[in-house]
Structure 1
């Protein structure tokens, strides 16, 4: 008769793979196994078996804690991966500009702001195409 496997608990880290040399947003979730819990500390392993610990009362109260040695924010629950905001297309910006035109019921200020957004996006797209 075999015993049920022991449940492994983790501390989670939201890690951006491009934090030093590129655009942010290439997130991964790293799971650091908890090896021991005492009334004051939670011990975990990270980076090739190294051991670290965090203040148990603080992380259980806040749900997350900054671990100074590894310089990362650790979470008790698996965090959500943030989604990058989607850039509007040139066609959508052009339609927004047309809808904001004073002849179609918009105001001068709304039209000017929409036209500036469209022109910035168009210049950015042309610069990227070169």
Structure 2
């Protein structure tokens, strides 16, 4: 009895960002199952939750095996399979700033508490920047 071949994948990044921060989702790696390999192409299943039908895509095999990644010119830049990788990509996770600590530092730097005007202004700018860049909770 033969053992089944392992399932292989291509990887993309879903970084869908809505127009407002209420619907922010961090980027995530998406797997696309490889269905067939030929000398020139690698075929994969490109089916998303929002797509009504199952779609098959393909990439240039020589290019993705040489570079480890390839761009799909026939896909929209926001599609998860626009930029495909041979191995799972490393996503940069941005650490969320601690707003409570920034607020405490701002209060400690206040001139009424022994701080200087410059230190308070700089601390307030850091706090305001972190507050406005942080996505709203769902």
TM-score, with structure 1 as normaliser:
0.65
Could you list the per-position Cα deviations for residues 61-95 of structure 1 after superposition, in whole angstroms to 9, with x for gaps in the alignment?
Answer: 22221112233211111223442430221x31144
Q: Distance in 2 between matches of 1:122 and 1:45?
A: 40
Residue ranges of structure 1 left out of the alignment (5+ in a row): none
Tell me: CA distance 1:99–1:65, structure 2 relative to 1, closer, same or farther (3 Å).
farther
Q: Which has the higher contact order (CA 8 A, sep 6+)?
A: 2
Tell me what 2:125 maps to: 116
The answer for the alignment partner of 1:63 in structure 2 is 68
2:79 paired residue number? none
Name the residue aligned to 2:10: 11
Deviation at 1:57, TM superposition (A): 2.2
Q: Which residue of 1 aligns with 2:93?
A: 83
1:27 offset after TM fit, Å?
A: 3.1
Q: Is the 8 A contact 1:45 1:51 kept in 2?
A: yes
**Higher strand proportion:** 1
Aligned length: 120
RMSD: 3.5
1:83-102 pair list within 5 angstroms:
83-89=93-99, 91-97=100-106
Give 3-state SS (helix, strand or coil) of 2:3's partner: coil
CA distance in 2, matches of 1:34, 1:122: 41
Counterpart contact for 1:11–1:33, Cα < 8 Å: yes
